[in-house]
């Protein structure tokens, strides 16, 4: 079987991180967005995990959102969603959530 030498050791980042969240749960301290500035495509599993953590860890979510805004401009949308989720709102629409 022939190996394309152009792709050896250089997989697209989206594929490299596709299963990341299954083997190593993403946290605000350890995730692909913090580790690699070149993540251009959304990472759905990691994004969902971080958005789920935001209401439970609002201080860390706000700090991570600030990090994304300052150092990862390609992820400005995720930063905004995390800030809304940390504030208790719906990360997508921005509407406040009803009290349980």
Each residue's pLDDT tens digit in the chain (100 positions)? 343 344 344 455 555 555 554 566 788 988 888 888 888 777 888 899 999 999 999 999 999 999 999 999 889 999 999 999 999 876 655 555 554 4
Residue with tokens 């050896």: 8
Residue 28 · residue 13 · CB < 8 Å? no
pLDDT reported for residue 1? 36
The tokens for 51 are 């958005």
* pTM exceeding 0.75: no
Do 45 and 51 contact (CB within 8 A), yes or no?
no
* pLDDT at residue 8, as a whole number: 40
Q: CA-CA distance, 68 to 47, in Å (whole number)?
A: 13
């Amino acid at each position: 079987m022939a190996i394309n030498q152009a792709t050896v050791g250089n997989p697209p980042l989206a594929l490299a991180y596709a299963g990341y969240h299954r083997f190593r749960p993403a946290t605000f301290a350890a995730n692909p967005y913090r580790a690699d500035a070149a993540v251009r495509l959304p990472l759905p599993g990691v994004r969902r995990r971080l958005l789920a953590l935001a209401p439970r860890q609002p201080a860390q979510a706000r700090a991570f959102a600030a990090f994304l805004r300052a150092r990862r401009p390609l992820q400005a949308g995720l930063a905004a969603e995390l800030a809304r989720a940390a504030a208790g709102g719906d990360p997508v629409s921005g509407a406040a959530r009803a009290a349980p």
